[in-house]
A and B are shown apart, each in its own frame.
Chain A
């Protein structure tokens, strides 16, 4: 679809803006926050006509299927949990990493392209009433693992 490319460009410009401004080269917080803001608002639109989720697992499933399909055009490949509030979401061809050549050379740049998504997921979960910490891990491009840790209390 045509707007996809528009979003890809916008995303890379956002990354550029957040990291090249005021020498914030290793500060991903504003990038994450832009994602958070987007996710928080988006989920409100998305879940308007969806019945209330029964529990946490169902919410996570929603994120991994519907939410992911809409934004990343594919489902996640694997969702694992230890049933104690840790979830690992694995995507073997993460959209923002698919245009980067594979190999270890580009690996150091990979974090730039996953922080927006960390924020996006955190924002979405927050608005669904789940307080969480989301981190990402890239071992080989374009695969990416997101670790979601639910903060209870």
Chain B
């Protein structure tokens, strides 16, 4: 068996498989919803759900300690991208108060083989990434905003994901309990 299996570059094929599956999902959503805003919302929600579960894997895998400030958080997110998507985004454009930064992607593995038709310019194809980051950070009690400042699919040179710290979530008694 191993003789035949080595015919492929497993790592590359895995990434392509993920990309194509994601593409098929987006296609299906565009079919299901008339409104592109709804598709963006659904993609973001799926990312959010995945992020919530992914953070557990990440913490178990890296045994990373708690981040004390956003700069550490940024490094961790960068590391997570390296582990899961095999890309290394650059961290840049820190705001003066260090609560806002950008992740700049030279290549975005999710958008390989993808071209946006002109009538879909409102589609945020990679919304799943921002959802993922938001979901994962919420599980470590960080409330953030996350959006695309630039997107290669829309003709920009790089894809830029902007992340803004909103607040630290406090431990609270669950609703309905005394």
CB within 8 Å of B: which residues of A? 1-7, 9-11, 13-14, 16-18, 21-22, 30, 33-35, 37-38, 41-42, 45-46, 49-50, 65-66, 69-71, 75
Q: What's the least CB distance linking A66 to chain B, in Å? A: 6
For residue B54, CB closer than 8 A to chain A, the reply is yes
Interface size counted on chain B using CB atoms at 8 A: 36
For residue B177, CB closer than 8 A to chain A, the reply is no
Picked from B8, B14, B15, B54, the residue with its CB within 8 Å of the CB of A66 is B8
Provide the bound-state CA to CA distance between A110 and B46, in Å. Answer: 21
Q: Which of B83-91, B117-125, B148-156, B167-175 is the interface stretch?
A: B83-91
If A13-B50, A66-B7, A70-B14 touch, whether A6 touches B20 (CB-CB below 8 Å) is: no
What are 5 sample pairs from A and B whose C-beta atoms fall under 8 A apart? A9-B50, A10-B21, A45-B16, A50-B7, A69-B5
A-B pairs with lowest CB-CB distance, top 3: A37-B24, A34-B24, A9-B50
- Per DSSP, are chain A's interface residues mostly helix, strand or loop, or mixed? helix
> B27 to A37, Cβ gap below 8 A?
yes
For residue B71, CB closer than 8 A to chain A, the reply is no
Instruction: Please name the residue on chain B nearest to A2 by beta carbon.
Output: B83
